[in-house]
């Protein structure tokens, strides 16, 4: 596949193969390049995890990473995203990893004969976040060995969450039972065909995975009214709620965490928490994704 932009495009076999390949990279598999392969990471929204782990994944695969800072680029002179990508492809970049505030920004870049590049979506507004979703699946697979019948609660700022949209899509395909919880104002019918919406106190003792979402203050129009302590008590994973989780249940969070809001800060280092594993797995899953799209665009460079 020359691009990986949405979890809608991935079938179960592809997801399983990516998890398997990511595990191989985690256990030391290396790639050999037959010629230099250049990658550029275009982040038009802030990022720590996704940006750094894509860069480390690229370097571990032997790719050469071209520095690209939107603030210092000709985007500031009005150059469009398409023309920016056309330029990078023309000078020899073969892999573009892009995060952009506009949902489905990548539609303007797909099926363009003048853009012979591999493309990975590193997050499109409130659209999707496939690399986060795949590293989440890798982490769940490592902890439970499979997905069939697994109960996963996705909790919090659902409407603004590209992670929720990508994860619910793939979890349903993989046979997991998805539940949603959080403020009713941040939930709507688009989620209903993927899982049931229930109060957090009804879910916490019965699910295998508590996936807590970040409250996305930057996407809220009325954020001044937000009461962090009240949110934590009503919708957060408090210490009291965490104590009611099944002994083998895990806590996940895509990061960055608002400690004391989505979950009690002390839970980040709890044995239930897989937050650090998620970030570590992100490097290996991104290696698998990069290899997959580079092989898919058949421009050579990989043995
Ligand atoms: N999970 C995630 O996308 O984190 P960053 O915004 O730091 O990349």
DSSP string covering 31-84: --BSS--EEEEEESS--SHHHHHHHHHHHHTTPEEEP--GGGSGGGGT--HHHH
Ligand 1, CB within 6 Å, residue ranges: 47-51, 123, 132, 254-256
Residue 297 has what pLDDT?
Answer: 76
Q: Tally Cβ neighbours within 10 Å of residue 171.
A: 25
138 half-sphere exposure, CB direction, 13 A CA radius: 31
| Among protein residues, the one whose CA lies closest to atom 4 of ligand 1 | 49
Q: Quote the ligand 1 centre to 55 CA distance (angstroms).
A: 13
Residue 3 has what pLDDT?
Answer: 94
**DSSP-derived pairing of the beta strands 38-43 and 93-100:** parallel
Residue 202 has what pLDDT?
Answer: 96
Ligand 1 mutation pick, 123, 160, 212, 285, max ligand atoms within 8 A of CB:
123
Ligand 1 mutation pick, 41, 42, 45, 48, max ligand atoms within 8 A of CB:
48
Write down the H helix ranges in 128-175. Answer: 130-144, 162-174
Check: CB of residue 3 under 8 Å from CB of residue 96.
no
Residue 214 has what DSSP assignment? Answer: P
* DSSP tally for the chain: helices H, then strands E: 9, 10
Opening angle at CA 17, ends 2 and 278, nearest 5 = 95
Q: What is the pLDDT of residues 101-112, one digit of tens each?
A: 999 999 999 999
- The span from the CA of 167 to the CA of 69, in Å, is 29
Residue 1 has what pLDDT?
Answer: 55
Residues 6+ apart with CB under 8 A from 262: 155, 156, 212, 213, 214, 215, 232, 236, 237, 253
Ligand 1 mutation pick, 52, 254, 280, 285, max ligand atoms within 8 A of CB:
254
Q: Domains plus CATH for the chain?
A: 3-128+280-297 (3.40.50.1370), 130-273 (3.40.50.1370)
pLDDT in tens, the chain (303 residues): 589 999 999 999 999 999 999 999 999 999 999 999 999 999 999 999 999 999 999 999 999 999 999 999 999 999 999 999 999 999 999 999 999 999 999 999 999 999 999 999 999 999 999 999 999 999 999 999 999 999 999 999 999 999 999 999 999 999 999 999 999 999 999 999 999 999 999 999 999 999 999 998 888 877 778 899 999 999 999 999 999 999 999 999 999 999 999 999 999 999 999 999 999 999 999 999 999 999 987 777 777
| Among protein residues, the one whose CA lies closest to atom 5 of ligand 1 | 47
Nearest CA-CA partner of 36 in 69, 64, 5: 64
Q: Quote the ligand 1 centre to 89 CA distance (angstroms).
A: 26
Q: Quote the ligand 1 centre to 284 CA distance (angstroms).
A: 16
Atom of ligand 1 nearest to the CA of 214: 1
């Amino acid at each position: 596949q020359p691009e990986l932009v949405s979890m809608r495009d991935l079938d179960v076999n592809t997801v399983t193969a990516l998890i398997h390949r990511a595990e191989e990279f985690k256990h030391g598999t290396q790639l050999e390049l037959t010629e230099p392969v250049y990658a550029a990471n275009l982040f038009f929204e802030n990022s720590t995890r996704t940006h750094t782990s894509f860069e480390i994944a690229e370097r571990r695969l032997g790719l050469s990473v071209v520095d690209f800072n939107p603030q210092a680029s000709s985007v500031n002179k009005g150059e469009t995203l398409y023309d920016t990508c056309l330029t990078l492809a023309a000078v020899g970049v073969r892999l573009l990893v892009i995060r952009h505030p506009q949902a489905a920004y990548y539609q303007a870049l797909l099926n363009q004969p003048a853009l012979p590049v591999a493309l990975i979506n590193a997050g499109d507004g409130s659209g999707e976040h496939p690399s986060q979703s795949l590293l989440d699946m890798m982490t769940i697979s490592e902890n439970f060995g499979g997905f069939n019948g697994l109960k996963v609660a996705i909790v919090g700022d659902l409407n603004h969450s590209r992670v929720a949209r990508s994860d619910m899509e793939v979890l349903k395909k993989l046979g997991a039972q998805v539940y949603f919880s959080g403020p009713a104002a941040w939930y709507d019918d688009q989620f209903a065909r993927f899982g049931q919406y229930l109060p957090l106190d009804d879910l916490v003792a019965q699910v295998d995975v508590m996936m807590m979402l970040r409250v996305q203050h930057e996407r809220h129009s009325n954020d001044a009214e937000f009461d962090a302590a009240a949110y934590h008590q009503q919708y957060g994973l408090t210490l009291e709620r965490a104590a009611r989780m099944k002994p083998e249940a895990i806590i996940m969070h895509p990061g960055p965490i608002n400690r004391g809001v989505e979950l009690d800060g002390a839970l980040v280092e709890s044995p239930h928490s897989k937050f650090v594993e998620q970030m570590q797995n992100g490097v290996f899953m991104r290696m698998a994704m990069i290899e997959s799209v580079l092989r898919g665009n058949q421009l050579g460079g990989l043995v």
